[in-house]
Amino acid sequence: MKNERTNHAELLNWVKAMAELCTPDRIVWCDGSESEKKRLEQEAVGTGELVELNQEKMPGCFYHRTAVNDVARTEHLTYICTSKQEDAGPTNNWMAPEEAYEKARQLFKGAMKGRTMYVIPFSMGPIGSVFSKIGVELTDSIYVVLNMRIMTRMGTAVLEALGSKGEFTKCLHSKADLDIYRRLILHFPEDNTIWSVGSGYGGNVLLGKKCLALRIASYLGMKEGWMAEHMLILGIEKPNGEIQYVAGAFPSACGKTNLAMLVPPEGLKHKGYRIWTVGDDIAWMRIGKDGRLWAINPENGFFGVLPGTGPATNPLAMETIKENTIFTNVALCPDGTVWWEGKDDNPPAEAIDWKGDKWQPGMKDKDGKPVLAAHPNSRFTAPISQCPSFNPKIHESTEGVPISAIIFGGRRAGLVPLVYESFNWRHGVFVGSQIASERTAAQFGKQGEVRLDPMAMLPFCGYNMGDYFKHWLEMGKRMKSQPKVFRVNWFRRDQNGKFLWPGFGDNLRVLEWILDRSNGKVDAVETPIGYIPKPNSLDLTGLNLNPETLKELFDIDPGEWMPTFLAEEEFLAQFGSKLPQELREDLEDREKRFQAVLKNKH
Ligand code: GTP
Ligand code: SPV
Ligand code: MN
């Protein structure tokens, strides 16, 4: 196969072989240019794959609806295909590589007939950084090309960086017939390969994101001595110009984008903080020459949740999505704009909902439940450069940023206090392993189903999670100074189901304490789970939080905690001999600390 763009023989042979399998009518190599973007947009509008939105009100914006059964990641169809099942571990679906390739080959066979195969060279991370990894995605979806163009560094410059021998992740995607019964998301870490067929939903098809930047990258990180995590990164700048960085892992739809785009609350405005949004979903972290942990955001855009995003909750996201944004699975208004629940209090009098049906406010389905205009997992795709708190110097830095603190979070109506600090790195790994979250569509006032999601990586760890815990422990041992590790919970509720903590911008009050602790500036109170702030340590200026609420936010009730231990022990027991001894001991130590509290009470 001759090609004027690259002389990378392995790449050319692979593209040729995949084209023989999928039999597209045409192959187009994407260069990432503006003219290519315009051409693809117009073509997609022509076929109905995209709808052009009101260009006066929303310049450069487009609208897309996925198939009704293709609106979220399908974890039950997602596999880690390693030669040994043990290497995928008990929390991943596993298939033997030969069987997986064979099954998928049947689905890919002829799937691109009548379509174009696009070749997308992309880089996760700044081109040329030690952190960065190159991938090439083959796809028959223009929607995927246009999304990858926003989410990654994409085009000719990447092929140049790849040269004639560079390593890359082979990513093959076809929508095929978008049939959920003929859908597979397969990862072959040993071959640095991803095959995804039968879906058109972001997390399943933007293969640079969860598939490469988390599943494949976490495997590479374990082999090469670095970490790929489901984490936001934000910088907190003090008036003296000093910036400290925090990385945070929260399960899907639990507040990473919102925390990354935090706006300081009125009561703290006089302190003159400035927040920099480094990343909202993925962090790649390495130990620097100075022995500290350094991180980059390998992405170039946001694929963020829309419902609940409005001027009151996330004004910076609203600024970010004013132009050049792709809106997926929201409602389409007659004037060519879009609407979703939580955008504002002015739903359109009529619209087309995410399923493509006529919609009016107040509509009920046959069971009397409100019909949603937008799917709860509807999303925006927007360039990170459009975020008002974006900092190009940080974003393009090939060294990344030093991480002062790591925070773990989740949605918990009870149990977990607003914030606590682990005793040390090793205990922080144990605390991360306890992360659990309610199902994100939990009903108001009613506690949702809780699932354990260690480090928010349960659906994204590309290898045995027992080895993953070990890797975390070993990384800590290799660091000269380790970030302090905290757990937070913005979602604690009172008996009436009302959030106890205002959240959003006010979360800066908690981050302030986290940095003070990391800088050794404040004392704390020791509890059986870790350190919590001393009374008056949190700056609550302007909040009017009543003392009872504050007490409730920090309540650590053994009667609530101890019954949760069994589920955690059972979860960790799955890993058998792969479970690091340290975590076993930490389970026992925690139990003992709680027993001591009970003894003192009686
Ligand atoms: P993924 O993109 O799925 O990985 O999710 P994410 O972790 O980035 O979640 P995101 O920030 O988009 O938040 C999801 C939902 O949580 C939105 O509806 C937010 O409005 C809500 N949310 C975020 N932060 C807070 C908070 O501090 N308090 C409360 N009550 N809700 C929040
Ligand atoms: C998540 O589900 O955690 C996301 C969205 O960030 S997706 O990219 O679809 O996985
Ligand atoms: Mn995510």
User: Could you give the CA distance from residue 468 to residue 138 in angstroms, rounded to a whole number?
Assistant: 30
CA of 229 to the centre of ligand 2 (A): 13
Amino acid identity for residue 232 in this structure: L
Task: Give Cα 238 to chain centroid, integer Å.
Answer: 27
Q: For ligand 2, atom 2, which residue shows the shortest CA distance?
A: 252
Residue 203, ligand 2, Cβ within 6 A: yes
Q: DSSP states of 278-325 as a string? A: EESS-EEEEE-TTSSEEEE---SEEEEE-TT-STTT-HHHHHHTTSS-
User: Could you give the CA distance from residue 240 to residue 242 in angstroms, rounded to a whole number?
Assistant: 6
Phi, psi values for residue 396, rounded to 5°? -90, -5
Query: How many CB atoms are located within 10 Å of the residue 91 CB?
Result: 20
Q: For ligand 2, atom 5, which residue shows the shortest CA distance?
A: 203
Q: For ligand 2, atom 9, which residue shows the shortest CA distance?
A: 203
CA of 209 to the centre of ligand 3 (A): 9
pLDDT at 57 exceeding the cut of 90: yes
CATH class label, 9-51+73-224:
alpha beta
pLDDT at 449 exceeding the cut of 80: no
Atom in ligand 1 nearest the alpha carbon of residue 281? 4
Pocket test for ligand 2, best of 173, 185, 303 (most atoms within 8 A of CB): 303
Q: What pLDDT is recorded for position 447?
A: 43
Question: Does residue 507 have a known ligand-binding role?
Answer: yes
CA of 62 to the centre of ligand 2 (A): 20
Phi, psi values for residue 372, rounded to 5°? -80, 140
Residue 302, ligand 2, Cβ within 6 A: no
Active site residue 254: yes
pLDDT, mean over the chain = 96
Contact 98, 139 (CB under 8 A): no
Query: How many CB atoms are located within 10 Å of the residue 200 CB?
Result: 23
pLDDT at 85 exceeding the cut of 80: yes
What is the share, in percent, of the chain residues with pLDDT greater than 90?
Answer: 96
pLDDT at 18 exceeding the cut of 90: yes
Question: Does residue 505 have a known ligand-binding role?
Answer: yes
- Which one is catalytic: 30, 61, 254, 387? 254
Question: Does residue 203 have a known ligand-binding role?
Answer: yes
pTM of this prediction exceeds 0.95: yes
Q: What pLDDT is recorded for position 437?
A: 85
Report the pLDDT averaged over residues 322-328: 98
CA atoms lying within 13 Å on the CB side of residue 574: 17
Contact 128, 163 (CB under 8 A): no
Domain residue extents for the chain: 9-51+73-224, 230-300+391-596
Atom in ligand 1 nearest the alpha carbon of residue 309? 20
Q: And the tokens for 138?
A: 């083959």
Residue 202, ligand 2, Cβ within 6 A: yes
Report helix, strand and coil shares of the chain as percent, to nearest 5: 35, 20, 45
User: Could you give the CA distance from residue 101 to residue 457 in angstroms, rounded to a whole number?
Assistant: 25
Structure confidence by residue, pLDDT tens digits, 223-270: 999 999 999 999 999 999 999 999 999 999 999 999 999 999 999 999
User: Could you give the CA distance from residue 135 to residue 208 in angstroms, rounded to a whole number?
Assistant: 7
Q: For ligand 2, atom 7, which residue shows the shortest CA distance?
A: 203
Q: What pLDDT is recorded for position 448?
A: 63
User: Could you give the CA distance from residue 214 to residue 337 in angstroms, rounded to a whole number?
Assistant: 34
Q: What pLDDT is recorded for position 3?
A: 78
pLDDT at 442 exceeding the cut of 50: no
Q: Which residues contact 34 (CB under 8 A, 6 or more apart)?
A: none
Q: What pLDDT is recorded for position 51?
A: 98
Q: What pLDDT is recorded for position 443?
A: 36
Structure confidence by residue, pLDDT tens digits, 473-529: 999 999 999 999 999 999 999 999 999 999 999 999 999 999 999 999 999 999 999
CA of 250 to the centre of ligand 1 (A): 9
pLDDT at 96 exceeding the cut of 60: yes
Q: What pLDDT is recorded for position 440?
A: 56
Give the residue with greater pLDDT, 448 vs 442.
Answer: 448
CA of 450 to the centre of ligand 1 (A): 17
Q: For ligand 2, atom 3, which residue shows the shortest CA distance?
A: 252
Report the pLDDT averaged over residues 107-128: 98
Residue 280, ligand 2, Cβ within 6 A: no
Ligand nearest to the CA of 503: 1
Q: What pLDDT is recorded for position 4?
A: 84
CB atoms within 5 A of ion ligand 3 belong to 252, 281
CATH code at 230-300+391-596: 3.90.228.20
pLDDT at 445 exceeding the cut of 50: no
Structure confidence by residue, pLDDT tens digits, 118-147: 999 999 999 999 999 999 999 999 999 999
